[in-house]
Structure 1
Amino acid sequence: MADRFFGWRVVAAAFALASFAWGIGFYGPGVWLHALAEGRGWSVGLVSGAITVHFLASAALVTRLPRLHARFGPVAVTRAGILLAAAGALGWALAPAPWALLPAALLTAAGWAVTSGAAINALISPWFEARRPAALAMAFNGASMGGILFVPLWAAMIAWLGFAPAAGLIGLLGILALWPLARRYFGTSPAAMGLHPDGAAAPPAPRAQPPRPGALWSQPAFRSLSAAFAIGMVAQMGLLSQVFSLMAPALGPRGAGWALSLATICAVLGRTAVGWLLPPGADRRVAGVLNFLVQAAGSVALLAAGGDSAWLYLAACVLFGLGLGNLLSLPMLIAQAEWPPAQVGAVVAALTAVNQAFYAFAPGLFGLMRDLAGDWTVGAAALALQLLAAAVLLRR
């Protein structure tokens, strides 16, 4: 039965890994920005630049993930990533001056590279074919859970204990929880257990789809797919890196944390709906376009909030959040539909690297715009980029 299929246990373990990975590597920097800017008086632009280093270095490392898995195995690589993420978070908290954020950012970058989107896809894909959209949606809901749990957790623990004790405790708890899970669920494969993808009685028939010729960058489909989601992720990461500190004056630090948790709850709902309800023959690019437009509506609400409207901030979080999770899973689902199975792994790794290389600059860019022109630039820039991404994705 499907509920006894070991692949679903792998999904549950990947869910837990994603919660920790996103709680530190994706959502953490936005809270750290507020803690360092408000608590130590450091420049928003300068700290945002360190966040850019974190994502840019990760983009350079993530392309090596397939080789690392092949050489050392998913268990060792995942455990190393957990340790690096925890050590890096502590490095951010202990930094005595802005220059010390650089080595801390490199540590969190390495941890993020081997525990984030490409890693989750690599851990899940061998277990599922037909039900991969639902499996990925469930696993990536852990990313949203990272926002639901970790953003208010970071805010509350920093306020209660201070940045360094909070970072040390959160990192230690992650290590203790995930270390045994990695061995139990990431150290085997369907073939080793005598199973077939999706828990089927027989292996699925291979999809009759010839390989696409030429390098990926020579293929118009890959260029439009990678460009659209890279642009969308610039908007998403730029907004997420700044929105906590934008909302904090009106909602308070804890209120801003709970507002971001609302966004990630909506991300779970949006991703689950797409994963389970998307028809098998549907054009997944159309789903991507609609997703960008929903997020654009959230950017409009953020602009209208004007710095003091709590209800509009909440509306922005709901609308932006509904599309938040799908920016992680939809590129992989589109790749699965448009490329043969033998090429999907390489396409996903390349997409992840391109996305991170682009959105690595988003925190620094959005922080600089705030410093130069004011808070309104965050919503305006996100809106323009989301509309552009929707247009680009329709090109084949």
Structure 2
Amino acid sequence: MQARTGQERTGIFFGWQVVAAAFVIAVFSWGLNFYGPSVYLHALHAREGWSPSLISAAITLHFLASGALVTRLPALHRRFGLVAVTRAGMLACAAGALAWGHAAAPWHMVPAALLTALGWALTSGVAINAMVAPWFDRRRGAALSMAFNGASLGGVLFTPLWAVLIGAFGFAGASACLALLVALASWPIAGRWLGRVPADLGLHPDGAATPPPPRPAAAPAGPLWRQPCFRSLSLAFALGLVAQMGLLTTLFSLLAPVLGEAGAGGAMSLATACAVVGRTVVGTALPPGLDRRFAGSANFLLQATGCALLAAAPGSAPALLAGVLLFGLGIGNLLSLPPLIAQAEWPAGQVTAVLALLTAVNQGFYAFGPALFGSAMAGWGPVAPPALAMALQLAAAALLLTGRRPAAGRASG
């Protein structure tokens, strides 16, 4: 007797099960590789006494090396398959966290950073899109927003979990616990849900009865970096992410004098919750015919408005909270909008390569965001970080629109 598929057993389109698997992978990946470095900095400074600048240099290496490695991800998927690459990536994440936790000399941070860089490259945004995209066409925005919400949950869950485990077992013991959790949980998840495409189960994207019509987008000519549409897309989101990373690094220090440490922590949690709300709203309510670059530009303007409030009234608690709310609503869309723009503007076979190079450019920029904003705050005071973020986001909003292709060259929906 032929084995029944997961959809036949549950009545749920298998694509949504893949989204759930991608959600969990995102929780693990962002928990260790995006939110983890701030924990590594604090824990190693407290345990070893190394200077924050030295540890920050290793963290910068983590992001820069990951940006270089991620450009190879489409080729790795073609050669080894999504399951094997995802498993290798999660094992690298786990091994890297373990190496950070057991670093006993400054040079030990270099192999730790390279391991987490490899894990981050193989399991971050480009990988999440590769997991979800084959299963959705018309509803890809909603599916990606749900999968990327795992990134936000990674920060909500892993940061306090790190703190609890470090308090109980020390940094080395905490890293061993989380490495074991990630390795053991992600291995079967990848094998069970990431090894199929719709055709394997006799299905079509979105669970439709017929395959989606071919998208009319024509391939822009020449290498990606010579294409104005790619340059504007990559540079706009690179500037937006520099603003986002830099402001988030300094935000607690801006809020604490007015709100207190507990209030500042609560406001940071508010920003994370708003990121989930904003990403979900855009993913589910974006009109199919709307040029997604307009949505991206509006998102940058929303964050710029929040930054303006933070800069204009640094001593007012209501203004600070309103600024955090508006800024937070746009955080998640800097992850989920680029795949939707790429889907509309490039043929399906090029989207993964577009996202890989875009991610490399973004990480090459935002790796320096914390240092840039920290220096601005040290030199010009607490108004400087939100003012700088606002300027970068306004520039990003304008730049994103300069690369719009003619309507005939874009896919709708």
Q: 8 Å contact 1:370–1:378 — kept in the other structure?
A: yes
Is 2:364 the partner of 1:357?
yes
2-side partners of 1:357 and 1:389: how far apart? 16
The match for 1:207 among 202, 215, 235 is 215
Change (3 A) 1:377 1:99: farther
The match for 1:188 among 196, 202, 215 is 196
- 1:117: which partner in 2? 125
Q: Which is bigger in relative contact order (C-alpha 8 A, separation at least 6)?
A: 1
The match for 2:283 among 275, 283, 287 is 275
Highest Rg: 1 or 2?
Answer: 2
**Which amino acid in the other structure matches residue 94 of structure 2?**
A
Q: 8 Å contact 1:51–1:363 — kept in the other structure?
A: no
Length-normalised TM-score, structure 1: 0.91
Query: How large is the RMSD of aligned CA atoms in angstroms?
Result: 2.6
Q: 8 Å contact 1:22–1:143 — kept in the other structure?
A: yes
Change (3 A) 1:248 1:73: farther
The match for 1:4 among 3, 9, 12 is 12
Listed one character per residue, the Cα deviations across residues 200-220 of structure 1 (whole Å, up to 9, x for unaligned) are: 111111122322222222221
**Residue 221 of structure 2 aligns to a residue in which SS?**
coil
- 2:94: which partner in 1? 86
Alpha-carbon deviation of 1:8?
A: 0.6
The match for 1:332 among 339, 364, 377 is 339
Residue identity (%): 64
- 1:168: which partner in 2? 176
- 2:393: which partner in 1? 386
Change (3 A) 1:310 1:146: farther
Q: 8 Å contact 1:216–1:222 — kept in the other structure?
A: yes
Alpha-carbon deviation of 1:109?
A: 0.6
Length-normalised TM-score, structure 2: 0.87
Q: 8 Å contact 1:5–1:199 — kept in the other structure?
A: yes
Change (3 A) 1:301 1:272: same
- 1:150: which partner in 2? 158
**Residue 203 of structure 1 aligns to a residue in which SS?**
coil
Is 2:52 the partner of 1:44?
yes
What runs of 5+ residues in structure 2 fail to find an aligned partner? Answer: 1-6, 404-413
Alpha-carbon deviation of 1:84?
A: 1.2
The match for 2:73 among 51, 65, 76 is 65
Q: 8 Å contact 1:59–1:357 — kept in the other structure?
A: yes
2-side partners of 1:130 and 1:51: how far apart? 38
What runs of 5+ residues in structure 1 fail to find an aligned partner? Answer: none
Alpha-carbon deviation of 1:302?
A: 4.0
Q: Name which of structure 1's ranges 255-264 and 172-181 shifts more when overlaid on structure 2.
A: 255-264
Change (3 A) 1:41 1:235: farther
**Residue 402 of structure 2 aligns to a residue in which SS?**
coil
**Residue 123 of structure 2 aligns to a residue in which SS?**
coil
**Which amino acid in the other structure matches residue 395 of structure 2?**
L
Change (3 A) 1:203 1:118: same
Q: Name which of structure 1's ranges 71-80 and 120-129 shifts more when overlaid on structure 2.
A: 71-80
Alpha-carbon deviation of 1:33?
A: 2.9
Is 2:241 the partner of 1:233?
yes
Change (3 A) 1:168 1:298: farther
Q: 8 Å contact 1:152–1:261 — kept in the other structure?
A: no
